[in-house]
Amino acid sequence: MYPELSEAERFPLLTPAGRQLLQAMRQHPRAPLWNWPNGEQLNAAGLARVQQFAQALNQPRQQSRPDWLDEFTEYCCHQVPFYRQRLNRNSSPIGSTAFDAQPSCAREDLAPHVSNFVPDDQSLDELIVFSTSGTTGHPTRMLFTPAVAACGVPLIEYALARYGVALPRGPQQVAITNVAAYKDAFTTAIVVAWLGEAGCVRVNLHPSAWRHSADCAAFINQWRAPVWLGDPVAFEQLLQIELDHEPQAIVSSIMHMPDALKAELARRFNCPVLDIIAMTEVGLLALRADDGHEVLPHDVYVEILGDDDRPVADGVRGEVTVTSRRNPLMPLVRYRTGDFAAMRRDGSRTILCDYQGRVPVLFELATGRTVHCMEVTRLMRRYPLMQYKLHQVDRDHFQFGYRGHVDIDALTLELSSLLDAPRVLEVEPMPWNPTRQRLWSTALQGDGLSDLAPRRSSSCS
């Protein structure tokens, strides 16, 4: 599917022991069909940056508003075309590089002109491109450095530490099993430099990802990773698999974790279930606690903005907006995430209350098959759409709206094939809609997870 990176490119710091684990994972007789030849691409300088990040992450926080905001904003206003142009634009004079004077921006600003968010003074030598669909139906690509991508592990470890769980180090074991459950999901096995080359496997529970149906359980059982990472749909699938061990923790992200499923997972696997908010733009953002979702990273400043671009009072719902300096290739100043919550500050803690996360949707088809919303997302990544929306009217009737210049005949053909050729597939261009709306929706009863229990968002106590 992708041009193969060489081993030296994927793992610049690979040791003989790391290579041995890598080969053991990849060449295991019951391994899944690997389809994602990736790697951290992390060199010594990159690893040093991850170490600095982890050190800063673990420092005690003194205040909820960081002191780097104004300096960072001034840098962006000088070096990043998007902020610079906005500063000078007469139609909305900002007139100041101070953080508080900046208007917000959103995926709609980023998606059409990604290059406008790349600072002029940044080298483009180390570049990783991620695709993202977001919640607002504006697919885009984002630029990262290997070090920024690798910061995801210390962030997860920081969240796990709240439950007394630490990721293991060294090339003797697999630290993380990442699970997905939809057709054509990426599968890979890597070693993680930050963890001293402990392994991380990503497996797909969908039957099409395995040579034999029994291999899935056998492979997961083989590595006995102490931490499982995935989305609620995948974890619900995992409940159906005969596993002979319990992890130390389950980390659920990408979509909202229903309370009932969380409780079922905790009971079945006898471990804490962490419900995190993570997004491509800033990585892991918050961890669900009893009193809401606590913001974790030290280098992301979170605000709740109203429609007028002003921060709302604590306790009032608005749009979760982030300012992040972690990614040198895409610094974000007041970036609206498309998710909504209220906020409460408790000393140095920032709590998101009543957070409305992404709800996973499973489309139940007339053929009896179920299509995961991520399969739709994967398909849409191949077409340069500005915006799209898929709504299921009934099992045999779908409505697809799109904005962008694409080969719509080819897209329709592929979408129809993905949905098992429904009786009606309405495909219509959609007008520009700056308001945020769900990418996927279904008029059918529930969404595939609802049989477990009605879901409830966290709320401020």
Among 178, 156, 190, smallest CA distance to 24 is for: 190
Among 190, 210, 208, 209, smallest CA distance to 200 is for: 190
User: Minimum distance between the CB of residue 139 and another protein, rounded to whole angstroms?
Assistant: 13
Dihedral-angle region of residue 420 (phi above 0 means left; psi in -120 to 50 means alpha; beta otherwise): left
Candidate list 89, 267, 310, 345; residue touching another protein; CB under 8 A: 89
User: Minimum distance between the CB of residue 455 and another protein, rounded to whole angstroms?
Assistant: 19
Distance CA 229, CA 242 (A): 18
Q: Quote the tokens at residue 2.
A: 């992708």
Nearer to another protein, 186 or 222 (CB): 186
Question: Using the rule CB under 8 A, is 156 a contact of another protein?
Answer: yes
User: Minimum distance between the CB of residue 290 and another protein, rounded to whole angstroms?
Assistant: 21
Candidate list 181, 193, 216, 278; residue touching another protein; CB under 8 A: 278
Looking at residues 168 to 207 of the shown chain, list those that interact with another protein (rule: CB under 8 A): 176, 178, 186, 188, 190, 200, 202
Strands 362-364 and 370-372: antiparallel
Question: Using the rule CB under 8 A, is 404 a contact of another protein?
Answer: no
Cα–Cα separations (whole angstroms), residue 287 to 197, 223, 411, 459: 26, 26, 37, 13
Question: Using the rule CB under 8 A, is 149 a contact of another protein?
Answer: yes
Question: Using the rule CB under 8 A, is 382 a contact of another protein?
Answer: no
Report whether 395 contacts 419 (CB < 8 A): no
Nearer to another protein, 117 or 398 (CB): 117
Nearer to another protein, 137 or 283 (CB): 283
Q: Can you list the positions of beta strands (E) in 31-173?
A: 105-106, 128-132, 140-144
Q: Report which secondary-structure segment, H or E, holds 20.
A: helix 16-26
User: Minimum distance between the CB of residue 152 and another protein, rounded to whole angstroms?
Assistant: 3
Nearer to another protein, 73 or 188 (CB): 188
Region binding another protein by CB under 8 A among candidate stretches 64-72, 280-288, 354-362, 445-453: 280-288
| Contact partners, residue 181, CB within 8 Å, separation at least 6 | 204, 205, 206, 230, 231, 233, 234, 236, 237, 238, 372
Residues found near another protein in the complex (CB under 8 A): 2-5, 9-10, 36-41, 81, 85, 88-91, 93, 113-116, 118, 120, 124, 127-132, 141, 143-144, 146, 149-150, 152-153, 155-156, 176, 178, 186, 188, 190, 200, 202, 229, 251, 253-254, 276, 278-280, 283-284
